[in-house]
Amino acid sequence: MSRILLNRRSFLATTASAGAMVILPNRAGALAAAPVKGGRLVVAGDSEPANLNPAIVASNGVFFVASKVIEPLAEQSYEGSDGLAPRLAISWEGSADGHTATFKLRDGVTWHDGKPFTSADVAFSALEVWRKLQNLGRVVFKNLESVETPDDHTAVFKFSQPTPFQLIRNALPVVTSVLPKHLYEGTDIAKNPANQKLVGTGPFKFGEYKPGEYYLLKRNDAYWQKDAPLLDEIVYQILPDRAAAGNALEAGEIQLAAFSAVPLADLERISKVPGLKVYPNGYEALTYQLIVEINHRRKELADVRVRRALAHSIDHAFVVKTIFLGYAKSATGPIPAYDKTFYEPDTATYAFDPAKAEALLDEAGYKRGADGNRFTLKLRPAPFFNETKQFGDYLRQALAKIGIDARVVSNDTPAHLKAVYTDHDFDITVATPVYRSDPAISTTILFESGLPAGVPFSNQYGYANAEVDRLIKDAASEIDAAKRADLYKELQRKVADDLPLINVAEFSFISVAHDSVQNVSNNPRWAVSNWADVWLRE
Amino acid sequence: MPPLLAFFLRRIVTALPVLAVVLVGSFLLLEAAPGDAVDAYVARSGAMDADQLAQLRQEWQLDEGPLHRFRAYASALVQGDLGWSSAFERRVASVILERLPITLLLMGVATALAFFLGSLLGVIAGANPGSFRDRFLSTTSLALYAVPGFWLGLVLIVIFAVDLRWLPIGGIESIASGKTGFSRMGDIGRHLILPVASLAMVYLALYLRLMRDRMNEVWRDPFVQALKARGLSRNRIVWRHVARNAVLPVVTMLGLQAAAMLGGSVVVESVFAIPGFGRLAAEAVARRDTPLLLGVILCSAITVITVNLLVDLAYGKLDPRVRVGR
């Protein structure tokens, strides 16, 4: 019985080539047995968002539960064209001038309360919710002017400015959760009770929420897809303690822990428990990037030679191997290697070379003082993950070796965000921005200048480069997909050279599941997809 | 006015300034913590633009100064309104009412167990100071006292829930089981065994030590000699006289420990995934939810004051010299 799905080395081998990612370890087993209907899947949950509506709050914590109830127009897929699989939309097309995007919608879909799903729901969601209220939709649908509904199953999006359809398409899984117009129209959308008791078209209906205890989802017998869903119920059991998910899996009280609820350090042990499988894939579309943010207001750090010296002081291989225990990859720039459309491999790189780092610092005029120090930096590692804190400690040591005294300042999350993104009270930080399938969604704001203070996960670094700003602006309205990709490749070369921030590694989450759970990790957003095909083997 | 009622009223009036100080202090502490509820919210929801942030701050009244906000909170509080929780997007009172009974149940059962078992074992140890029984119990209790509650909880989970699978690993009851009446009560009871054990064990040891040491002292009092001389049976001396005299400091400690028990529940509730009050307090701080935190602190303070009131009344029952109203 193969208990250990993949050891560290084979994980690295598979993820090294993107083609290998589509080979799903559980597929062979799933094909062997016919899917069985029924059963309750119990999953470890941790966050309990006050607003569970994915059309308003497009975050992983919300999607984890809500994606089973409320569906987007399309979902990410390993096999589909453009990396998408149809959901509420069956086809999509952008016009040549970038002013319209046309969606053909699925026929015969009903809301959980029995009302039919039509193009009016899509138009309402787009205009009133995604464009106005949703954190990411406000970026993607900034220029959305109107949505025409020539018939019940066609929605035509009209944009006031040319909007790259490539961006719309890449954003579909995340920003297009469709809400029922008949429940939201004429209400205060942000305060609607349906934001907690969700009503959607998805394979599961919202059953019950007991704060601090669980969410219960129940099968939607009227789901549009034939013979789906397979599970009767999904339960998210809230487990606040770090050790709880691993214990609960071992005790058989839960069958699945997603989003690295089992800490990396425990995986070695958990993977040896009979009947448990570790899945390092299924999160490619939620790739996090371990970066070092740099405050360019500091005189020393405004010098590109100093920034390059910092980059040369970091041993990526050590970070991947020792901090991420192999569950990460070295990064070269702001776009992860798995995204073949936008990734530019041919950029300046900074090999681990402390001697070169010291030479660069000397050249910049920051020689070691009598105490061996060149200068002191305030280092704020983000408290978001164990690994960010550990990397903060590593970075302090790595910088000490090249004569920079980094003082670590640790805070909890709200304090960290305020210090870095509002007060700019830092010299360097350790941060983890997310790459969301298109650079325009949440990546370019890391480089764009002129953003107001207080915007989290954005360029609050005092970095301004006219050339970089121009590339970002041009790409935002470039209709031609190939040209747009080229602009982003140019941007990657530019920032690899100028180094406004340092990309160290790419990482994502790990799932651990009982081997009875079938069809785990079979798409790049698996944990936040609808689980219509998940089933439990006897 | 009956003396008992007057006593109650007096206690409540004297408690008011304490409550006020506690509230102002907590407000200031949370105010001094960098980052506000919107910063905490953003960390969970992901990216947001400047307009949205400003709007949210306005909606949650974070754009007002702290003085204004505290005044608004206090004036609502006087009218019995605990305010609105930004973390849960619900009224604070409803969030608290949901969690308080669970923690009171956990605390109540743990305190009762620790008190009765602890003092009983204390009597057994103290009945014969220096005996083998005494030494065994004293040493064991010391060892128990040295163990942190959360560690004990984790060990109990690994043994009884993961390895033996006798007891549930956490939670307050089985999820969506549809159980009602006695079978539901039994289910909750099963879920309480491990958290109560890990919470009670430490205090049990404390009560045992206290009881035993105090009895050891009382044995040397002259009145015990007198009782012996009058020919009373040893059992009667132990239970009616020595133990009854020795239990007073234990009862005092019971009142003092009520507050510590609430503090301990923060950790135990997290370890056992119990949706209680302690976890709520931790969450309120992490999410910078000032009204919720103040509500939790207020209710905790009232709980502690009530427990101490009951302790004072019990005191009177045990020792006629300090009876209320005399």
A50 to chain B: closest CA residue: B88
Q: What is the mean pLDDT of residues B71-80?
A: 89
Q: Among A45-49, A276-280, A514-518, where is mean pLDDT lowest? A: A45-49
User: Cβ–Cβ of B171/A213 closer than 8 Å?
Assistant: yes
At residue A221, the pLDDT reads 95
pLDDT average, residue stretch A360-369: 95
> Per-residue pLDDT tens for B166-200?
999 888 888 877 788 889 999 999 999 999 998 88
Alpha-carbon gap, residue B47 to B49, rounded angstroms: 7
Domain with CATH 3.10.105.10 in chain A: 287-507
Residue A488: which of A346, A332, A342 has the closest Cα? A342
Indicate yes or no: CB of B39 within 8 angstroms of CB of A138.
Answer: no
- At A76-119, the pLDDT tens digits run 999 988 889 999 999 999 999 999 999 999 999 999 999 999 99
Question: Where does A321-403 show beta strands of DSSP type E?
Answer: 328-330, 375-381
Helix (H, G, I), strand (E, B) or coil at A2: coil
| Chain B residues near residue A212 by CB distance under 8 angstroms | 99, 274-276, 279-280
Distance CA A56, CA A50 (A): 12
- Give pLDDT, residue A186: 93
**Looking at beta carbons, which residues of chain B come within 8 Å of A235?**
175-176
* DSSP count for chain B of H helices, then E strands: 13, 2
State how far Cα A477 lies from the chain centre: 24
Cis peptide before A229 (omega within 30 of 0): yes
Q: Which two tokens stand for residue B287?
A: 């999410």
Interface of A with B in 443-472 (CB under 8 A): 445, 451-452, 454-458
Does A415 lie at the interface with B, CB-CB under 8 angstroms?
A: yes
Domains of chain B: 93-318 (1.10.3720.10)
pLDDT grade for A9, boundaries at 50, 70 and 90:
very low
Per residue in A394-412, pLDDT (tens digit) is 999 999 999 999 999 999 9
Residue B99 or residue B176, greater confidence: B99
Q: Which of B38, B39, B92, B167 is the best mutation test for A, with the most CBs of A within 10 A?
A: B39
CA dihedral of B248, B253, B258, B263, whole degrees rounded to 10: -170
Instruction: Summarize pLDDT for A183-198 with one digit per residue, the tens.
Output: 999 999 988 999 999 9
Range A70-192: architecture per CATH:
Alpha-Beta Complex (3.90)
pLDDT at A333 over 50: yes
Characterize the bridge pairing of strands A40-45 and A74-76: unpaired
Q: What angle do CA A274, A280, A281 make, to 5 degrees?
A: 125
Nearest CA in chain B to A384: B43
8 A C-beta contact, residue A463 and residue A447:
yes
Measured in degrees and rounded to the nearest 5, phi and psi for residue A177 equal -70, 125
CA distance A39 to A27: 20
Alpha carbon distances (Å) from B265 to A338, A403, B261? 45, 46, 6
CATH of the structural domain A287-507, one choice from 3.10.105.10, 3.30.70.1520, 3.30.1300.10, 3.40.250.10: 3.10.105.10
Q: What is the mean pLDDT of residues B111-126?
A: 91
List the one residue out of A420, A346, A320 whose CA is nearest residue A378. Answer: A420
> What is the 8-class DSSP label of residue B46?
-
Task: Give the residue range(s) of CATH 3.90.76.10 domains in chain A.
Answer: 70-192
Say what the ipTM of the complex is: 0.85
Beta carbons of B96 and B303 less than 8 angstroms apart? no
Residue B217: CB atoms within 10 Å: 14
Burial call A283-310: b when 16+ CB within 10 Å, e when fewer: bbbbbbbbbbbbbbebebbebebbbbbb
B156 CB near a chain A CB, below 8 Å? no
Instruction: Give the pLDDT of residue A391.
Output: 97
Judge whether residue A218 has pLDDT over 70.
yes
d(CA B133, CA A210): 47
| Residue A32: band (very low, low, confident or very high) from pLDDT cuts 50, 70, 90 | low
Using an 8 Å CB-CB cutoff, list chain B residues near A240.
270, 273, 279
The pLDDT tens digits for B267-282 are 888 889 899 888 898 8
pLDDT at A20: 37
